[in-house]
Amino acid sequence: MQIKINNENINIRTGGYNIDNNNPYFLLLHGAGMDASVWQMQTRYLANRDINILAIDLPGHGLSEGNPLSTIQEMSNFIIELLDTLNIKTTSVAGHSMGSLIAIDLLKNNEKRINNLTLLGTASLMPVHPDLIEAATNNLSLAANLITDWSFGTKQHLGNHPLPGYWMIDSSIQLIKQSRKGVLAKDLIACNDYKDALTVASNIDKEVIIISGKEDKMTPVKKARELNDNIKNSNLIIIENVGHMMMIENPVKVTQIMHDLFL
């Protein structure tokens, strides 16, 4: 479905189901240079179980209009504006990579509106090497290949996906290459510049699930653990044999973890 915010169309993937206000909401936030299609293995399954799925294409990403936002704080403010537009009082939130930073930042001034958080591929800090930002600015194909190579675990470089014919490596490369000019670089800079995660985390009083890939090179387990140790009610789940893109690499495990929040 699409809604208008500031006179621009924002695309939301609902898993193919109509919104039912009697069901709980679950907001899904994608990572840098990507869009809500990264949640394709989760959306329909969860929506089929009486959960209102809202997988957002952030402004300037996927099928959403507008310019990409420059900071994590601007992105979290946009999410609140989206919730206001849809008249959603409370929601659960899952965020991957950059999306996890947005989810964390949401808690600063909007704790009453967030039921719980699921943070995938997250870290206390997300520094980005200047060479990757340079590639994202001037050589998107190189940046897409670098990110994808680092994002997937060893087994996933050889195939091994439960969905027949699904090519994880190339599909991720193509997704990033299809992003609009400058979007990936802007997102990476926003991640690099965000330093508030640990401060906000220390004040979070909601249930938090952190999902980390054992082979994650982008946001290593030790950095996810550092964040986990600063949250009062947090549970760190480490999935073996996957990297940064765990919701694609092991969709069954990740989807079950997410669904368990609503049982």
Report, as an integer, the average pLDDT of 25-42: 97
Please determine, for residue 175, whether its predicted confidence score (pLDDT) is greater than 80: yes
Please determine, for residue 163, whether its predicted confidence score (pLDDT) is greater than 90: no
Helix (H, G, I), strand (E, B) or coil at 9: strand
Compute the distance between CA of residue 255 and CA of residue 81 in angstroms, rounded to an integer: 27
| pTM score of the predicted model | 0.95
Please determine, for residue 12, whether its predicted confidence score (pLDDT) is greater than 70: yes
For the record, the structure tokens of 232 come out as: 């009062």
Compute the distance between CA of residue 109 and CA of residue 8 in angstroms, rounded to an integer: 25
Question: What is the pLDDT confidence band of residue 44, given thresholds at 50, 70 and 90?
Answer: very high
- pLDDT for the residue 165: 66
- pLDDT for the residue 156: 81
Question: Which helix (H) or strand (E) is 239 found in, with range?
Answer: strand 234-239
| Helix, strand, coil content of the chain in percent (nearest 5) | 40, 15, 40
Amino acid letter for position 73: Q
Report, as an integer, the average pLDDT of 104-111: 91
Sign of the dihedral defined by the CA atoms of residues 121, 126, 127, 131, in that order: positive
* 27 HSE (CA, 13 A, CB side): 28
- pLDDT for the residue 223: 94
**pLDDT-above-70 percentage for the chain:** 98
Amino acid letter for position 151: S
- pLDDT for the residue 224: 96
User: In CATH, which of 1.10.486.10, 3.40.50.300, 3.40.50.1820, 3.40.50.2300 is domain 2-126+194-260?
Assistant: 3.40.50.1820
Average pLDDT, the chain: 94
pLDDT tens for 122-156 read: 999 999 999 999 999 999 999 999 999 989 888 88
Backbone angles phi, psi at 210, to 5 degrees: -110, 125
- pLDDT for the residue 154: 84
Per-residue CA distances from 68 to 42, 46, 83, 170 (Å):
25, 28, 18, 24
Contacts of 36 (CB under 8 A, 6+ apart): 11, 12, 13, 28, 30, 43, 55, 56, 57, 62
pLDDT tens for 193-204 read: 999 999 999 999
- pLDDT for the residue 109: 84
pLDDT tens for 202-245 read: 999 999 999 999 999 999 999 999 999 999 999 999 999 999 99
Report, as an integer, the average pLDDT of 49-67: 97
